[in-house]
Amino acid sequence: MNLVDKIEKTFALTTPLYYVNDVPHVGSAYTTMAADVVARFQRLLGHRVLLITGTDEHGQKIQRSAESLGKAPQEFCDEIVPSFISLWQLLNIQYDRFSRTTASEHEVIVKEFFQRLWDAGDIYLGQQQGWYCVSCEEFKEERELLEGHRCPIHTNKEVEWRDEQNYFFCLSKYQSQLEELYKSQPDFIQPETRRNEVLSFISQGLQDFSISRVNLEWGFPVPVDPQHTLYVWFDALLGYVTALLEPDAEPTLTNALGNWWPINLHLIGKDILRFHAISWPAMLFSAGLPLPERLFVHGFLTKDGQKMGKSQGNTLDPVGLVHSYGSDAVRYYFLKEIEFGKDGDFNEVRFINVLNADLANDLGNLLNRTLNMVKKYCAGDVLPIANEAINDENPLKAIGLRLGEQVKQAYEALAFNQACEATLLLVRASNKFIDEQAPWSLYKQGQQQEVEKVLYAVLESVRLAAYLLSPVIPNISSAIYQQLGLGIDFNDQIKTSMVAPFATHAQWGVLTSQQPLGKPQPIFKRIETPKND
């Protein structure tokens, strides 16, 4: 290992491990798209990144789904998993590890981890009574339930009464350590509203929770009592640890935790907040392990105001969406139009309008007509002047000089909508600028240098915008760079971070004079609005 490797910053992040009770829907794709944007941004910064995703395959919910199709659970999981992998390919997700909780190495890690908690005296046998939501795989308080004993999240599902012997984890023992954690690391749970939710929940006093089930075959046996099966959430959270194992490493906790632990960022939806913000840190405390750095909680995608979900049967098919509109379009809509952390509704008309306005018109047409003007007014495919000719008062340069830092902060805060919006402001300002400056008139008046300055400022703005949007729309950004004569493929991340690092390409003034330009071609085809009959 050389010095550069040693000082290189690493960044490990996770999506949740998705249940495989059905093929993925847009809700599950949402976190993965966001995670991919963060990973791509971190790679632009030159960091070594590990993006972990995968599937959560045990438990009653999966067992029942398999049974309903007359299949063995493993066979059922093996059939569903490829639909996740192929969707991630379709959506252009560059993940590094795909963790399956049915993997044999995972069982070894789970056993070792269980043993640590057992040795710490944190696991005991007790009686579990309560209402269980199989869709959440979680016990619910009576007061949380809707009329007819329905789950507040899976509103069409009734919870089931359970009264059985289970092993329990001493969560209550970690009450004060957790309180201290939230106090000393206020950024541990973001956004603030979710942190407050956890603070209020924990202030009511934590109860121990059961980590085993009886009468359930589909799961790992409890190491100290194989009549019991480990609770699906106990094994699922540890999937994050198993994912850290190098492919050929012997599965031990020490090997798994050797390189990337602690994880820098867990991305989750709001329904699985307590598991990640309370149970998971307490389990890690008990095992004597350092905690992940940060947890970011996003909202729900709704359709007609209802949470989209497999259990509710109101999902939106992401495969169809990508086939109709392309991966960049889908990524752009969900990240630009919905504030990460808040709920957001999907609406096809809005979807089409946003893409047409931002990508086809504002960005695409601007590039196209400006490149054509260079051909027409500058006698060739080469930009004749460089950044030095543009003074700092130029309105586009003035925005461009600040934009990189602003967008960096937005990505770091996971404010993807702000990163996109700030960049789009430059694009819109460029459209306004070219219309006001009217290079076609300047040309007629013989003001050649002015024409060139206008065209340079606009093309440099488009380049900067493409760079800053590349974590979200890598294909379109690559096409723009291509047409600007800069042969960078943003899907080739390692090369990109070497030849076009954030430190230089997120700055204004990268295009040089004598820059050979490519052939103008539409980068995003306008979508026709479906007709309402």
Q: What is the 3-state secondary structure (H, E, C) of 30-78?
A: HHHHHHHHHHHHHHHCCCEEEEEEEEECCCHHHHHHHHHCCCCHHHHHH
β-strand pairing of 10-19 with 48-56: parallel
Residue whose C-alpha is closest to residue 46's, from 94, 97, 7: 7
Per-residue contact string for residues 40-79; x = within reach of ligand MSP by CB under 6 A:
----------------x-----------------------
Are 233 and 275 in contact, with CB atoms under 8 Å apart?
Answer: yes
Residue type at 379 in one-letter notation? A
The CA-to-CA distance between both ends of the chain, in Å, stands at 65
Regarding 400 and contact with ligand MSP (CB under 6 A), the answer is: no
**Run of H or E residues at 24:** none
The pairs formed by 175-182 with CB atoms below 8 angstroms and a separation of 24 or more are 175/202, 175/205, 175/206, 177/282, 177/285, 178/202, 178/206, 178/278, 178/281, 178/282, 178/285, 181/281, 181/291
Q: What is the CA 98 to chain-centroid distance, rounded? A: 14
**Of residues 16 and 474, the one with the C-beta less far from ligand MSP:** 16
Regarding 19 and contact with ligand MSP (CB under 6 A), the answer is: yes
Residue 309 Cβ vs ligand MSP, minimum distance, rounded to whole Å: 5
Query: Cα(354)–Cα(356) distance, rounded to whole angstroms?
Result: 5
**Of residues 237 and 422, the one with the C-beta less far from ligand MSP:** 237
**Of residues 301 and 424, the one with the C-beta less far from ligand MSP:** 301
**Of residues 206 and 268, the one with the C-beta less far from ligand MSP:** 268
Regarding 341 and contact with ligand MSP (CB under 6 A), the answer is: no
- Residue selected from 237, 243, 399, 407 as contacting ligand MSP according to rule CB under 6 A: 237
Binding region for ligand MSP (CB under 6 A) out of 174-182, 189-197, 235-243, 351-359:
235-243
Regarding 31 and contact with ligand MSP (CB under 6 A), the answer is: yes
**Of residues 80 and 424, the one with the C-beta less far from ligand MSP:** 80
Query: Cα(341)–Cα(154) distance, rounded to whole angstroms?
Result: 20
- Residue selected from 73, 191, 219, 239 as contacting ligand MSP according to rule CB under 6 A: 239
Per-residue contact string for residues 260-279; x = within reach of ligand MSP by CB under 6 A:
--------xx-xx-------
**CB nearest ligand MSP: which residue?**
269
**Of residues 271 and 328, the one with the C-beta less far from ligand MSP:** 271
List binders of ligand MSP among 308-337 (CB under 6 A): 308-309
**Of residues 302 and 507, the one with the C-beta less far from ligand MSP:** 302
**Of residues 307 and 505, the one with the C-beta less far from ligand MSP:** 307
Count of chain residues binding ligand MSP (CB under 6 A): 21
304: left (phi over 0), alpha (psi -120 to 50) or beta: left
Place of tokens 């509109």: 325
Two tokens, residue 403: 């934009």
Binding region for ligand MSP (CB under 6 A) out of 17-25, 169-177, 202-210, 497-505:
17-25
List binders of ligand MSP among 281-310 (CB under 6 A): 300-301, 307-309
Q: What is the 3-state secondary structure (H, E, C) of 262-315?
A: CCCEEEEEHHHHHHHHHHHHHHHHHHCCCCCCEEEEECCEEECCEECCCCCCCC
- Residue selected from 11, 12, 13, 18 as contacting ligand MSP according to rule CB under 6 A: 18
**Of residues 150 and 428, the one with the C-beta less far from ligand MSP:** 150
Residue 318 Cβ vs ligand MSP, minimum distance, rounded to whole Å: 12
Residues that bind ligand MSP in the complex, under the rule CB under 6 A: 16-19, 27-28, 30-31, 56, 236-237, 239, 268-269, 271-272, 300-301, 307-309
